[in-house]
Structure 1
Amino acid sequence: MGSLPVKYLLDTHAWIWALEAPEKLPDPIRAMLLEPDHLPFGLAAISPWEVAKKASKGLLQLSMPVRQWVAHATQAPFIELLPLSVDIALESAHLPAPFHKDPADQMIVATARMHSLVLISADQRLRDYPHVQTKWK
């Protein structure tokens, strides 16, 4: 995609659910995935790593081997993979307190903040964090 501005960033679980179990997404989020005005959705570069880590620990079952799934899922027409820049890495280490210690969440929130994106997430900890705009319902 790349030619349209990204407005939203999918948290890792929202990306997985969009492809594997869209019924887990709230109706408004599923509808957004079908509306060209909302596309593409950004995806933090750390999300494929998070998927691979969870799959390797047996915490995530995918419809195909993880390398194949990530290759397919990062090429989904509604996804724009956002690279991990030095600025995002530094931002993730200096998020305004309070923030929990999950490095993937830190990178995802930093990506949303650096790109001024709304984070699509079911994670209540992220939705309660006052320094990033979120959407779920």
Structure 2
Amino acid sequence: MRYLLDTHIFLWWIVDQPKLSAAAKCVIAAPDHEMYVSAASTWEMIIKSVIGKLSLPPSPEEFIRDQLRINRMLPLPITIEHSLTLATLPMIHKDPFDRMLIAQTIFEEMVLITDDPVIKNYQVNVFPSC
């Protein structure tokens, strides 16, 4: 099974955040599942780090690369098809990063692991419990 991690889920996994459910931890840790982190999430983390809304180590780009490698997670680039899928989405969610994750999840036929209740208003496969 292929899963896309929402930005906060990626960060929760890294810091072992208690908010992350045991079920989500089990799915993420399963060696037979493919875990993806979108370029939209890395973009979001870098922007938030630069403006002071997210505290990352001194070299955020190194930290993110290392965490992807350590946790055997795969990067998911943003493609033209992902961008075009945005045109099919209703304007329920205003956050551009989350909208891209939704589009990627739909286009790539993945399951999105998120704790964002607004995302659940879309016709998108969302992991049931985070």
Specify the TM-score bucket, using the shorter chain as the normaliser: 0.7 to 0.9
Percent identity of equivalent pairs: 26
Runs of 4+ in 1 over 6 A off after TM superposition: none
How far apart in 2 are the matches of 1:46 and 1:96? 17
User: Offset of 1:130 from its aligned partner?
Assistant: 2.9
**Unpaired runs of at least 5, structure 1:** 1-5
- Partner-residue secondary structure (3-state), 1:123: coil
How far apart in 2 are the matches of 1:50 and 1:66? 11
Please tell me the root mean square deviation across aligned C-alpha atoms, in Å.
1.7
User: Offset of 1:21 from its aligned partner?
Assistant: 2.9
**Which residue of structure 2 aligns with residue 114 of structure 1?**
107
How far apart in 1 are the matches of 2:20 and 2:109? 23
Q: 1:20 to 1:95 in 2, by over 3 A?
A: farther
**Which residue of structure 2 aligns with residue 30 of structure 1?**
25
**Which residue of structure 2 aligns with residue 102 of structure 1?**
95
**Unpaired runs of at least 5, structure 2:** none
User: Offset of 1:42 from its aligned partner?
Assistant: 1.5
Contact 1:11 1:43 in 2 (8 A): yes
User: Offset of 1:57 from its aligned partner?
Assistant: 1.6
With structure 1 as the length reference, what TM-score do the two structures score?
A: 0.83
Q: Say which of 81, 86, 89 aligns to 1:87.
A: 81
How far apart in 2 are the matches of 1:77 and 1:61? 20
* Bigger shift: residues 71-80 or 100-109: 71-80
Matched, 1:9 2:4: yes
Q: Say which of 38, 50, 66 aligns to 1:44.
A: 38
How far apart in 1 are the matches of 2:48 and 2:30? 30
Matched, 1:58 2:42: no
